[in-house]
Amino acid sequence: MPDHIELPATVRDFLAPPHVASIATVDPDGAPRQTVAWYRLEDDGRILLNSRTPRRWCTNLLRDPRLAISIVRGDDPYRWLGLTAVVDEVVDDVDRARDDIVALAWRYADAEGPDPESIATFRTQPRVTFLVRVTGIHDHTEG
């Protein structure tokens, strides 16, 4: 498996809008586990994910850092991106992880902004942030 892959401009452009990501991890018994999550592409090419602990997918990533991510363009389901990745950094500082989920809530909010009650709830939850680096790309982003 490659150490990392430099993301082409087409992939960066695809990841820029707030699509929803499907995250696949591996349970301790080897069974696949999927969840849907918000994400953000970082300037360094890593993808930021955030979870409330101790959700299963979060626990899986803490045990086994491998994951697959698929992202479908909301307005055209035939445009999608598949990524293999590995956790590069775990941010277990709860205050920073809470700031990350609030930033994601703003990213995914409509013009009125995120629901204040949701933000208040995020600020009380045990949270963790994962910064993942891409090791493989399979894309159908072009027409």
* Domain made up of 9-140: CATH architecture: Roll (2.30)
Question: Which residues, including other chains, have CB under 8 Å from residue 127's CB and lie 6 or more apart?
Answer: 50, 51, 52, 53, 94, 97, 98, 100, 101
As a whole number of angstroms, the longest Cα–Cα distance in the chain is 43
DSSP state of 1: -
State how far the Cα of 35 lies from the Cα of 24, in Å rounded to an integer: 7
Residues 8-29 pLDDT 10s:
999 999 999 999 999 999 999 9
pLDDT of the residue at 143: 63
Domain extents in the chain: 9-140
Give the containing element (helix H, strand E) for 139.
strand 127-140
What pTM was computed for the model? 0.94
